[in-house]
Amino acid sequence: MTADDRLKQALGPDADAPPAVDHAFTARVLARVEQRRLWMRLGALALWAGAAALLGWALRPVFHELSLALAPASGVAALMLAAGAGIWLALRGDLARALRRARTSVLPGRF
């Protein structure tokens, strides 16, 4: 009895049989499923973007009139919106950690 025969006997009668689960095939199938889902999502988003663009084009005269009516107050409104967004972001997040990350990304060797 050779060493190969003894090894086959130790491993059992199914030593030459293929594995019960082919992980490479499973991975390829899952990749194709995810790729199909991605294309379906992108298609749906493209339809929604097209509908939004068409609606914006159709409402262009209304937006123009609205912008003329709100033009005198638009600068103040933009400043208030930017300040409010800045305050909201400062309260929502960890400002010290964000500043540390910004500092280490700008000057990586100093800190």
What string of DSSP letters covers 8-54?
HHHH-TTTTSPPSS-HHHHHHHHHHHHHHHHHHHHHHHHHHHHHHHH
Percent of the chain scoring above 70 in pLDDT: 87
pTM for this predicted structure: 0.45
The amino acid at 17: A
Please, which residues have CB within 8 angstroms of residue 100's CB and are 6 or more apart in sequence?
Answer: 111
Rounded average pLDDT over 27-35: 94
With cut-offs at 50, 70 and 90, classify the pLDDT of residue 14. low
Q: What is the pLDDT of residues 33-60, one digit of tens each?
A: 999 999 999 999 999 999 999 998 999 9
With cut-offs at 50, 70 and 90, classify the pLDDT of residue 17. low
